[in-house]
Amino acid sequence: MTWLTGRQSGTPQLLGWVVDVQRDFMDPDGRLYVHDLTDPTDPGARMARGAIVRAVTWMRARCATIVFTGDWHAYGDREIDSVAPDPLKGTYPPHCMGMSPGPREREGASLLPEIAPNESALVLSRHATEVEARAVARDAVRSARPVFLQKSEFSCFSGNSGTDTLLAELAAVLGESFEVLVCGVATDVCVRHAVEGMLDRGLAVSVIRDATWGLGLLPSSETWDRWRSRGARVLRMGDLERAGS
């Protein structure tokens, strides 16, 4: 698995991609705690928290840069429904309200404190222009600063107007053969949109299976098999730690 040590061996460089590790999703008392909606006994995303922390620690030591994505909602966003939310229709109660004027609501959009980037992180706002996205990509690699990519929808592609440009510019800076290493929540919603969107764009993608958690909307085995069939690597944290030791 020499690709995991690409920066030392001359194989593809790595880009860390950490999906939506926000308080509303990750904390059991969050407004939209990620757990299997069909199984009341499911302990939920707290079970993946340790692996996610380990994954981000690993990424910080070995990736060219890390992109943290986060829902950054306003009440007018299409997936926010305060009256009759229905996950099967793609709507949810208010969560990760980063655009809210209320500080308590905005707090749910914050990243987990143990892995949140510091104040030097670059922010790609959800309405970013191509010029802004190119500048963020170049600065992130040049200064080794992480990026916080805000999004208005599940998908980092349709939810942020600068994501495609950001990835294209990163490809130009890092080389076309860079590989994206993904973790976060929820496996069957925002992680799925990120992974499949990257595969659609011809990117090399690896997903850290035990550093994700889902809502039970899709059978997990079906998800992993589909991603493998499309060329994605499915790993566990132990694989990374052994390869990077």
How high is the pLDDT of residue 171? Answer: 93
> Using CB atoms within 10 A of its CB, is residue 182 exposed (0-12), middle (13-18) or buried (19+)?
buried
For residue 207, list its beta bridge partners: 182, 234
Q: Tens digits of per-residue pLDDT, 121-179? A: 999 999 999 999 999 999 999 999 999 999 999 999 999 999 999 999 999 999 878 99
The answer to whether the Cα torsion of 131, 119, 64, 209 is positive or negative is negative
Q: Which residues contact 114 (CB under 8 A, 6 or more apart)?
A: 53
Exposure b/e, 87-117, CB count within 10 A at least 16 = b:
beeebbebbbbbbbeeeebebbbebbeebbb
C-alpha–C-alpha distance, residues 26 and 75, integer Å: 21
Q: What are phi and psi of 213, to 5 degrees?
A: -155, 150
C-alpha–C-alpha distance, residues 206 and 84, integer Å: 36
How high is the pLDDT of residue 83? Answer: 95
How high is the pLDDT of residue 244? Answer: 63
C-alpha–C-alpha distance, residues 67 and 177, integer Å: 17
Considering only CA atoms, which of 188, 183, 221 is closest in space to residue 37? 188
**H-state helical runs in the chain:** 6-9, 23-26, 46-62, 103-107, 130-143, 163-174, 190-200, 220-229, 237-243
Give the domains, in start order, of the chain with CATH numbers.
14-243 (3.40.50.850)
How high is the pLDDT of residue 175? Answer: 83
| Alpha carbon separation from 62 to 14, 179, 228 (Å, rounded) | 7, 12, 24
How high is the pLDDT of residue 1? Answer: 30
Mean pLDDT for each 10-residue chunk of the chain (245 residues)? 38 90 97 94 97 97 96 95 91 94 91 90 96 98 96 96 97 88 97 97 96 91 94 95 74
Q: Are 214 and 220 in contact (CB under 8 A)?
A: yes
Q: Which residues contact 89 (CB under 8 A, 6 or more apart)?
A: none
Question: Cα angle vertex 189, ends 183, 192, to 5°?
Answer: 55
